[in-house]
Amino acid sequence: MKTREAAKWAETKSKLIADEVTLGPYMSFIVRRTPRRLLHLLSYYKFAAKMIGSGRRVLDVGCSEGFGTQILAENSARCVGVDIDEAAVAWGNKSVANERLRFLCADILKDRVGEFDAVVSLDVVEHIFTEHENEFMAALRANLTHRGICIIGTPNINSDQYANEHTRLGHVNLYSAERLRLLGERYFNHVFMFSANDEIVHTGFAPLAHYLIALCVDPTEPLH
């Protein structure tokens, strides 16, 4: 009897896990070298998804291979991930895309993707040179409806002292909570600041936070 039950469970289990996902090179590197980083990243995506709610059209700017974008897509009406990395986008479409989730290779500074209820951009703005930060924010806003929301996440400049040399080379434009809020307020009427330490998102003392998240709502009229 136990043998038959075990065989039945093995068959059921096999069906449940038949839909495998293969990680791309970037996510594989994180899993092998810094798995805690994956936990932190997914917690930020989970927070963004909670703030957006269900049934919305969502754009993920700087999606890489799309592993975190899946969380945004789970309860969305439609979700699009964009990135300038053609190989990463191809991996996302191959591995995790579905009827509600697709990925595009595009430069958000040059290409308007569409009209969305929410735009999410995590770990991107710190790679945008200061002279292009306004252009970047304007591009995010240009893909939103007039009542859309924008969620931007970036490492706190105060945590840069603990970053490795490779990370520092790519972080050309780091923010404090105040500077990130002021940038958001140029393009949105209301900006709510959150902090994060490890996987915990909170509203605590921002200077001690490792990561910053700006929830920007009520877009202003485009500048001419």
3-class DSSP assignment, residue 202: strand
Neighbouring residues of 194: CB distance < 8 A, sequence distance ≥ 6: 47, 201, 202, 203, 212, 213, 214, 215
Per-residue pLDDT tens over the stretch 117-159: 999 999 999 999 999 999 999 999 999 999 999 999 999 999 8
Instruction: Give pLDDT, residue 18.
Output: 59
Domain boundary assignment for the chain:
35-219
Per-residue pLDDT tens over the stretch 52-76: 999 999 999 999 999 999 999 999 9
Instruction: Give the CATH H-level superfamily of domain 35-219.
Output: Vaccinia Virus protein VP39 (3.40.50.150)
Instruction: Give pLDDT, residue 222.
Output: 67
- How many C-beta atoms lie closer than 10 Å to residue 200's C-beta? 14
Nearest of 9, 115, 120, 132 to residue 60 by alpha carbon: 120
With a pLDDT cut of 70, the percent of the chain lying above it is: 94
Instruction: Check whether 1 has a pLDDT greater than 70.
Output: no
